[in-house]
Chains A and B, each alone.
Chain A
Amino acid sequence: MILARNITKTFGDKKVLNNVSFTVSRGSITGLIGHNGAGKTTLMAILCGLIRPDEGSITIGGIDLFRDMSKARLAIGYVPQKTSLYPEMSGRENLLYFGSMIGLFGDALDQSIDEVSTATALEEHLDKRVVHYSGGMQKRLNLAIGLLGNPKILYLDEPTVGVDPETRDIILTTLLALSKERGMSILYTSHYLEEVERICDYLLVLEQGVVIVDDFLKSLKHESLENYLHGGFRR
């Protein structure tokens, strides 16, 4: 589903990504972990087409991202780390707006809003203004927007940072269901090892812009994972 080949990106003198290659297959959840400054966010921005790599290529569902970006992006749902919402608008208004921005209108938009609000347990709160939502509810709405239009690929940039255990459970359960039931391919960055172990099939570890682990999670031992992470990740 996602095929990244030899991605290299330099900012000034610093090589942020160095010859990064990986594959995310259909219906899988791939964990992307690494220390701060390892290059995760830059890689995510490149996968979204927000910045171009100096070298390398990315194919989304067989479409070259940088040759036919508009078409390739149709397959992508993106959940940024910050809650990118309009706090003064209601949850429904946020969903209506972002849904329209991905080209959903009329019944298709209403149906998609129903689906994503049910999946994120927000259906009873849609008419409240987001400014009155708890932090966890805002994170769920942030995820719901990424799910609008039922994308084939979902990028999540640390979606559970700062949320309560209940919200974290809702988010992780939702992602598992999307992957298994709808065949959605998910690329998930996180600092939490327990989350990665719970939902991911596959693991990528970035260290100073280089992929140092690229393997099925089940083939990696918990101890070796901790060693990879040098205790830098929270359990």
Chain B
Amino acid sequence: MRKIFAGVLKEFWLLKRDVHALMVLFVMPSLFILIMSLAMRDAFSEHSNIHLKAMILCEENSTASREFITQLKKIKGFEWSETVSHHTEALPEKMVENNILLGVSICQGFDKAVENNSGIDKKIVILISPETTPIAKVLFETAVGSTVAKISMVHQMSSLNPWMTREEKEEALADKIWFEEHFLQGKNTTDVRPTSVQQSVPAWLIFSMFFIIIPISNTFVNERRLGTLARLAVMNVSIGSLLISKMIPYFVINQIQFVAMLLVGIFVVPLLGGDALSIGNNISGLLVVSSVLSFVSISYALALASFVKTTDQAATIGGVLNIIFAAIGGIMIPLFVMPDFMQQLAVISPMSWGLESFLALFLHNESLSDIWKPLGALLLFGSICLGMAAWKLNRELKEAR
């Protein structure tokens, strides 16, 4: 036990002098969390990043057409520009001139059609550029269609109720249909809205945990290269206690990273205008996932450091593999924006197993029993890596000739 303690102390002595590694472990993920949380904030925000430019051409200046335009402008996600002309035929030219893909024309007779509640749809013409995406097209058609329906409905109400005052009409038009929003949380629902910081914090935390490869390989490769491990073997130090004494300090470092990154998400990101991290209720579950991830990242680092010959090789190969794991594992780009085949490819990245586990706890408030598959995969991967490291080390010491 004392030997393990001395080994742990030695790793801390080495680590505290490895400033670059500490920067990679703590500063890099903090910056990534801040940058990516703010950069992706709109992608997760309530209003999303939908921002469609559309043009309105109005052939007549009537109460009904003004009401129609007012209602259209209230719809979120659109930026409307108006043009006045007596000819709908002028709309395409105006749209091309202004580089606008969506247009709606209110034709002569719209006011009368509303008044008579007949043929309103014939007095509205919409123009859609072929470059428009299918989603934008549907949104635009829905916006125009729902506005026509609303105007028509209010005028029907006023015809049924001749005593309806102007104020009552305006109030009826102002009424909005709001759906109460709930978000899926496992098999339950929650009112907590998913935010970019809930993707960024676990993603970049996992990424930085895997960068433990740099300090581990710095010492481990040198120990192998300089014959220190052989010397320790002659001192009756077992491979098991050597590996354990390496795992303990880096496990502590990983857990400090975990707490530090959560604090960045909870307190620092909001200071810069982002959303605060909501960590859910399953704190013990988070600790388990973080511990399993730490076991995996350290074992993976030890395995890699056992097979390379120089620290440069370890840093290069480890760094590139980490970036590949991150790219396909949904760390750099959220999985939900990837096409199906890329989402399926993510299964091969251990980082994606960790991210899946964290997100299940953060967003879906699931229990550990719900995430046994990714956790089991992580434990299996970590055990294989650790076994490989022990096997290689044992073989290397036997070949010390």
Instruction: Tell me if B135 is interfacial: C-beta within 8 Å of chain A.
Output: no
* Residues B400 and A84 in contact, CB atoms below 8 Å apart: no
Tally inter-chain residue pairs, CB-CB below 8 A. Answer: 87
* Given the contacts A45-B400, A84-B226, A98 and B235 also touching, CB distance less than 8 Å: yes
* Residues A84 and B401 in contact, CB atoms below 8 Å apart: no
When distances are taken between beta carbons in the complex, the residues of chain A under 8 Å from B399 are 51
* Given the contacts A41-B401, A45-B401, A78 and B231 also touching, CB distance less than 8 Å: yes
0/1 interface trace, chain A 103-133, chain B, CB 8 Å (1 if under) = 1010000000000000000000000010000
0/1 interface trace, chain B 390-401, chain A, CB 8 Å (1 if under) = 000000011111
When distances are taken between beta carbons in the complex, the residues of chain A under 8 Å from B10 are 86, 89, 93, 97
Interface SS majority for chain B: helix
Q: Which of A50, A76, A83, A129 is within 8 Å of B230, CB to CB?
A: A50
Give residues 1-45 of B contacting A (CB, 8 Å). Answer: 2-3, 5-7, 9-10, 13-14, 17-18
* Residues B3 and A100 in contact, CB atoms below 8 Å apart: yes
CB distance from B314 to the nearest CB of A (A): 16
Give residues 33-71 of A contacting B (CB, 8 Å). Answer: 41-42, 45, 48-51, 69-70
Q: Please measure, in the bound complex, the distance between the C-alpha atom of A82 and the C-alpha atom of B397, giving whole angstroms.
A: 15
Instruction: Tell me if A73 is interfacial: C-beta within 8 Å of chain B.
Output: yes
Give residues 211-227 of B contacting A (CB, 8 Å). Answer: 219, 222, 226-227
Instruction: Tell me if B98 is interfacial: C-beta within 8 Å of chain A.
Output: no
* Given the contacts A11-B401, A51-B400, A84 and B227 also touching, CB distance less than 8 Å: yes
Instruction: Tell me if B177 is interfacial: C-beta within 8 Å of chain A.
Output: no
Q: Which of A11, A73, A83, A85 is within 8 Å of B235, CB to CB?
A: A73
Instruction: Tell me if B189 is interfacial: C-beta within 8 Å of chain A.
Output: no
Q: Please measure, in the bound complex, the distance between the C-alpha atom of A102 and the C-alpha atom of B14, giving whole angstroms.
A: 20
When distances are taken between beta carbons in the complex, the residues of chain A under 8 Å from B234 are 48-50, 73, 76, 78
* Given the contacts A41-B401, A101-B3, A86 and B230 also touching, CB distance less than 8 Å: no
Q: Which residue of B lies closest to A78 (CB)?
A: B234
* Residues B397 and A50 in contact, CB atoms below 8 Å apart: yes
* Residues B227 and A82 in contact, CB atoms below 8 Å apart: yes
CB distance from B51 to the nearest CB of A (A): 53
When distances are taken between beta carbons in the complex, the residues of chain B under 8 Å from A87 are 222
Give residues 174-223 of B contacting A (CB, 8 Å). Answer: 219, 222
Q: Please measure, in the bound complex, the distance between the C-alpha atom of A234 and the C-alpha atom of B227, giving whole angstroms.
A: 25
* Given the contacts A41-B401, A49-B234, A80-B227, A86 and B2 also touching, CB distance less than 8 Å: no
User: How many residues does chain B have at the interface if contact means C-beta atoms less than 8 Å apart?
Assistant: 29
When distances are taken between beta carbons in the complex, the residues of chain B under 8 Å from A50 are 230, 233-234, 397-398, 400
Instruction: Tell me if B377 is interfacial: C-beta within 8 Å of chain A.
Output: no
Looking at B18, B228, B230, B233, which has the most chain A CB atoms within 10 Å of its CB?
B228
* Residues A89 and B14 in contact, CB atoms below 8 Å apart: yes
Instruction: Tell me if A184 is interfacial: C-beta within 8 Å of chain B.
Output: no
0/1 interface trace, chain A 182-199, chain B, CB 8 Å (1 if under) = 000000000000000000
CB distance from B215 to the nearest CB of A (A): 11
Q: Please measure, in the bound complex, the distance between the C-alpha atom of A76 and the C-alpha atom of B10, giving whole angstroms.
A: 23
CB distance from A94 to the nearest CB of B (A): 9
Q: Please measure, in the bound complex, the distance between the C-alpha atom of A93 and the C-alpha atom of B13, giving whole angstroms.
A: 8
CB distance from A147 to the nearest CB of B (A): 13
Q: Please measure, in the bound complex, the distance between the C-alpha atom of A98 and the C-alpha atom of B13, giving whole angstroms.
A: 14
Give residues 223-251 of B contacting A (CB, 8 Å). Answer: 226-228, 230-237
* Residues B230 and A80 in contact, CB atoms below 8 Å apart: yes
CB distance from A167 to the nearest CB of B (A): 19
When distances are taken between beta carbons in the complex, the residues of chain B under 8 Å from A200 are none
Given contacts A80-B231, A102-B235, 19 further A-B pairs with CB under 8 A are A16-B401, A41-B401, A42-B401, A45-B401, A50-B234, A50-B400, A51-B399, A51-B400, A82-B227, A84-B227, A86-B10, A86-B219, A87-B222, A89-B13, A93-B10, A93-B13, A97-B7, A98-B235, A101-B237
Q: List 13 A-B contacts (CB under 8 A).
A: A41-B401, A45-B230, A50-B398, A51-B398, A73-B235, A80-B230, A80-B231, A84-B226, A86-B219, A86-B228, A89-B17, A93-B10, A101-B7
- Which B positions have Cβ atoms within 8 angstroms of A? 2-3, 5-7, 9-10, 13-14, 17-18, 219, 222, 226-228, 230-237, 397-401
Of all A-B residue pairs in the complex, the 10 with the closest CB atoms, nearest first, are A100-B6, A84-B228, A78-B234, A42-B401, A84-B227, A82-B227, A97-B10, A84-B231, A48-B234, A80-B227
